[in-house]
Amino acid sequence: MIRDEETLTLLLDTIARFVRERLVPAEAEVARTDRIPEEIVAEMRRLGLFGLTIPEEYGGMGLTMEEEVRVYFEMGHTSPAFRSYFGTNCGIGSQAIVIDGTPEQKARYLPRLASGELIGSFALTEPGAGSDAASLRTTAVREGDCYVLNGTKRFITNAPEAGIFTVMARTDPAKKGADGISAFLVERDTPGLWVGPPDVKMGQRGAHTADVVFENCRVPAENLIGGREGQGFKTAMKVLDKGRIAIAATAVGVAERMLQDALRYACEREQFGKPIAEFQLVQTMLADSQAEIYAARCTVLDAARLRDAGENVNLQAACAKMFATEMCGRVADRAVQIHGGAGYMAEYGIERFYRDVRLFRIYEGTTQIQQLVIARNLIRSGKIYG
Ligand SMILES: Cc1cc2nc3c(=O)[nH]c(=O)nc-3n(C[C@H](O)[C@H](O)[C@H](O)COP(=O)(O)OP(=O)(O)OC[C@H]3O[C@@H](n4cnc5c(N)ncnc54)[C@H](O)[C@@H]3O)c2cc1C
């Protein structure tokens, strides 16, 4: 749903200019230093990017899902590390509070998340619980007016920078699956919370992940999200349904950038006396990429519109994430191929995108998990979507 076409166009134009003039020129430096310059972060704050999806009453822009994906199409035209930095605040770092938080939790945290003063992280994955997130072992035991948390969370995006963590932990050890899990808001300076050193990753330098360890970490009971035990896994899945559409949109945007770069190179590079774009085998790679990007874009927009209409988009979000991220991997591969040897060289940047986009098929549910979600929906309802 688009609330006001004119306002959205203005926002998209501003973001496109920011991407073109500030972020694209900084890509190589961010990759080299593994750090987004402070002045760029300050500009992100000024543009309101940290609060894209946070309701206006808490200082955000309150974008609908359709508006949000259109922003991410634009943001995808540069290194995904930039979007990861503020996008975590708009997505998994804030949405548990937006969707299921109490009025007090919303008032306490959302304004600072929206302004970018506070960075939010989402801590579900553990060393022994990735795809099977419902088997998580971190415990939260009620003691007086606190819960005492113990456990380790792994690969947590923005953990090194975060001031607030949404943490899924088991409050009822008698229940082994999802029902025994609750979600908590844990502030960074809470005694007993430790953040490990940043992980060394394949790509997306400038975006950081780390372990988050809880050792007898006492969290005030009022920080139980929604104020009810046993709801945490449901909250996490609602957050991920939304997050998957956002990742899919980013994958579409990055695929567009890679195809644009490949198209330019194919038109400029000459072999056998003519631009390589004139060879039909190269044209096949360009055409397949364009058609797949178009299909993914339509899928993402459809899922976003359905979510805005209040539908349960569990199936559509999984379809969008699976198709768009797998498509993005294929486009990355073809873009490297079209660049030939230059595609393998750091100087041309395309190998960096090739590494960066590999993550899209892994986090917020691997492709295999999306396939299971899609199949489960089909079997449960006995009918297909279409
Ligand atoms: C850079 C990065 C950032 C991340 N950020 C966050 C974050 O902010 N918060 C957070 O909580 N987590 C985060 N994660 C964790 C991420 O969500 C998990 O890595 C992901 O869900 C996969 O879990 P796993 O790594 O344990 O792999 P595993 O679950 O061990 O999977 C290994 C392989 O087995 C396959 N597999 C597993 N189960 C099945 C099955 N039933 N059927 C078929 N195949 C299966 C998987 O698809 C995969 O191919 C991040 C990960 C990375 C790499």
**CA 362 to centroid of ligand 1, rounded, Å:** 6
E strand or H helix that includes residue 170: strand 164-170
* Ligand 1 pocket, residue 348 CB under 6 Å: no
Cβ neighbourhood burial of 360 (10 Å; 0-12, 13-18, 19+): buried
Q: Does the pLDDT value for residue 17 go beyond 90?
A: yes
Q: Output the residue whose Cα is nearest ligand 1's atom 45.
A: 368
Gap between the Cα atoms of 211 and 219, Å rounded: 19
**CA 136 to centroid of ligand 1, rounded, Å:** 13
Percent of the chain exceeding pLDDT 90 equals 98
pLDDT band with cut points at 50, 70 and 90 for residue 298: very high
pLDDT band with cut points at 50, 70 and 90 for residue 176: confident
Q: Does the pLDDT value for residue 386 go beyond 90?
A: no
Q: Output the residue whose Cα is nearest ligand 1's atom 42.
A: 368
Gap between the Cα atoms of 334 and 282, Å rounded: 9
Quick one: average pLDDT of 316-341? 98
Gap between the Cα atoms of 8 and 62, Å rounded: 12
Q: Output the residue whose Cα is nearest ligand 1's atom 27.
A: 130
pLDDT band with cut points at 50, 70 and 90 for residue 38: very high
For 4, residues 6+ apart whose C-beta sits below 8 A from its C-beta are: none
* Ligand 1 pocket, residue 94 CB under 6 Å: no
pLDDT at site 290: 98
Gap between the Cα atoms of 340 and 324, Å rounded: 24
Gap between the Cα atoms of 190 and 168, Å rounded: 16
Q: Output the residue whose Cα is nearest ligand 1's atom 31.
A: 131
Q: What is the pLDDT of residues 48-71, one digit of tens each?
A: 999 999 999 999 999 999 999 999
Gap between the Cα atoms of 86 and 113, Å rounded: 9
Catalytic residue among 27, 68, 74, 364: 364
pLDDT at site 24: 98
Quick one: average pLDDT of 281-286? 98
E strand or H helix that includes residue 6: helix 5-18
Q: Does the pLDDT value for residue 207 go beyond 90?
A: yes
Sequence-ordered strand ranges (E) for 262-364: 270-271, 274-275
39 carries an active-site annotation = no
Gap between the Cα atoms of 205 and 340, Å rounded: 24
* Ligand 1 pocket, residue 130 CB under 6 Å: yes
E strand or H helix that includes residue 209: strand 209-220
Q: Which of 124, 125, 244, 250 to mutate to test the pocket of ligand 1 (most atoms within 8 A of CB)?
A: 125
Q: What is the pLDDT of residues 118-143, one digit of tens each?
A: 999 999 999 999 999 999 999 999 99
* Ligand 1 pocket, residue 165 CB under 6 Å: no
Q: How far is CA 365 from the centre of its chain?
A: 11
Q: How far is CA 248 from the centre of its chain?
A: 9
Q: Which ligand 1 atom is nearest residue 132's CA?
A: 29
Q: Output the residue whose Cα is nearest ligand 1's atom 20.
A: 363
For 48, residues 6+ apart whose C-beta sits below 8 A from its C-beta are: 60, 61, 114
* Ligand 1 pocket, residue 362 CB under 6 Å: yes
Q: Which of 137, 212, 363, 364 to mutate to test the pocket of ligand 1 (most atoms within 8 A of CB)?
A: 363
pLDDT at site 142: 97
pLDDT at site 2: 87
Quick one: average pLDDT of 287-303? 98
- Smallest Cα–Cα separation from 328: which of 258, 237, 246? 258
Quick one: average pLDDT of 318-337? 98
pLDDT at site 321: 98
Gap between the Cα atoms of 285 and 307, Å rounded: 33
Gap between the Cα atoms of 233 and 134, Å rounded: 7
Cβ neighbourhood burial of 120 (10 Å; 0-12, 13-18, 19+): buried
* Ligand 1 pocket, residue 156 CB under 6 Å: yes
Gap between the Cα atoms of 164 and 321, Å rounded: 26
- Distance set, CA 276 to CA 265, 284, 291, 364 (Å): 9, 12, 20, 38
* Ligand 1 pocket, residue 183 CB under 6 Å: no
Quick one: average pLDDT of 210-227? 98
| Helix-strand-coil split of the chain, %, nearest 5 | 60, 15, 25
E strand or H helix that includes residue 141: strand 139-143
Q: Does the pLDDT value for residue 273 go beyond 90?
A: yes
* Ligand 1 pocket, residue 138 CB under 6 Å: no
**CA 79 to centroid of ligand 1, rounded, Å:** 22
Q: What is the pLDDT of residues 74-132, one digit of tens each?
A: 999 999 999 999 999 999 999 999 999 999 999 999 999 999 999 999 999 999 999 99
Gap between the Cα atoms of 354 and 382, Å rounded: 38
Question: Beta strands 181-187 and 164-170: pairing type?
Answer: antiparallel
Q: Is the pTM of this model over 0.85?
A: yes
Q: Output the residue whose Cα is nearest ligand 1's atom 7.
A: 156
**CA 133 to centroid of ligand 1, rounded, Å:** 9
Question: In which residue are the tokens 């979007």 written?
Answer: 83
Q: Is the dihedral of CA 152, 183, 140, 173 positive or negative?
A: negative
Give the count of beta carbons closer than 10 Å to the beta carbon of residue 385: 12
